[in-house]
Chain A
Amino acid sequence: MNLQNILNEIEKVDADVFERLDHVSRRHVFHNFLKKAVTGVAPVAFGAILNKAYAQSSTVTDVLNFALTLEYLEAEFYNIGLASPGLITGMEGWNTFQQIAKHENAHVALLKTALGGAAISKPKFDFSAKGAYPDTFSNYKTFMALSQAFEDTGVRAYKGQAANLMSAPDILTVALQIHSVEAMHAAKVRYLGGSRGWIMGAMGMPSAVYAGEDMRVQGGVDVVNLTGLGTEQVTGAFDEPLTKEQVLAIATPFLA
Chain B
Amino acid sequence: MEKLPKDPTVIPQGFTGKASAALGRRVFLRYLGATAAAGVALNACKSEIAEPLATGSARAGEAIDLGDIGSKDVNVLNYAYALEQLEAAFYTHVVMNPYMGMNGYEKAILMDIRDHEIAHRELFKAALGSAAIPGLTPNFSSINFNSRESVLGTARVFEAVGVSAYNGAGKYITTPDYLVLAGKIVSVEARHTAIISEMLHPQTMSFAGDDIVAAASGLGEARMPEEVLALVRPYVQEIINGKNGGHA
Contacts and interface: CB of A to CB of B under 8 A. Distances in A.
The number of chain B residues touching the other chain, given as a range, is: 35 or more
Interface residues of A, number: 81
Interface stretch (A52-60, A121-129, A137-145, A237-245): A237-245
By secondary structure, the B interface counts as helix
A68 B203 CA distance: 29
B33 interface: no
A238 B185 contact: yes
17 contacts: A23-B224, A24-B226, A42-B217, A90-B203, A91-B203, A92-B202, A96-B205, A99-B208, A162-B170, A162-B180, A169-B171, A177-B221, A177-B222, A183-B190, A185-B194, A219-B177, A234-B119
B63 to A, nearest CB: 21
Interface string B177-201: 1011101111111111111001000
B103 interface: no
Contacts of B44: none
Contacts of B222: 20-22, 39, 173, 176-177
B17 interface: yes
A37 B122 CA distance: 37
Interface of A: 11, 13-27, 39, 41-43, 46, 90-92, 94-96, 98-100, 102-107, 110, 155, 158-159, 162-163, 166, 169-170, 172-174, 176-188, 191, 196-198, 218-219, 221, 223, 226-227, 229-230, 233-234, 236-241
B188 A238 contact: yes
Task: Give 4 closest A-B pairs by Cβ, nearest first.
Answer: A106-B218, A183-B190, A169-B171, A26-B19
**Most B-side CB within 10 Å, residue of A43, A183, A188:** A183
A180 B216 CA distance: 16
B74 to A, nearest CB: 13
Interface stretch (B109-117, B135-143, B232-240): B109-117
B188 A11 contact: no
A159 B17 CA distance: 30
Given A163-B180, A239-B188, A25 B119 contact: no
A7 B218 CA distance: 19
Given A13-B216, A177-B219, A177-B221, 14 more contacts: A17-B17, A18-B19, A24-B23, A95-B3, A96-B205, A104-B218, A166-B174, A176-B167, A187-B207, A188-B207, A221-B126, A239-B183, A239-B184, A241-B183
B197 to A, nearest CB: 8
A54 B245 CA distance: 22
Nearest to B230: A24
Given A219-B177, A221-B126, A174 B219 contact: yes
A24 B207 contact: no
B68 interface: no
B112 A233 contact: yes
Given A15-B17, A95-B3, A221-B126, A197 B192 contact: yes
**Most A-side CB within 10 Å, residue of B23, B122, B127, B187:** B187
Nearest to B178: A219
B101 interface: no
A95 B123 CA distance: 37
Contacts of B215: 14, 102, 106
Given A95-B3, A95-B203, A177-B167, A11 B17 contact: yes
Interface string B7-33: 000000100111111011001000000
A159 B184 contact: yes
A106 B220 CA distance: 12
B192 A24 contact: no
A236 B188 contact: yes
B198 A191 contact: yes
B191 A166 contact: no
Given A19-B16, A23-B224, A92-B203, A181 B5 contact: no
B131 interface: no
A17 B222 CA distance: 11
Contact of A163 (B120, B123, B176, B214): B176
B168 A173 contact: yes
Given A25-B21, A187-B207, A197 B191 contact: yes
Nearest to A186: B191
Contact of A184 (B3, B126, B168, B194): B194
A187 B195 contact: yes
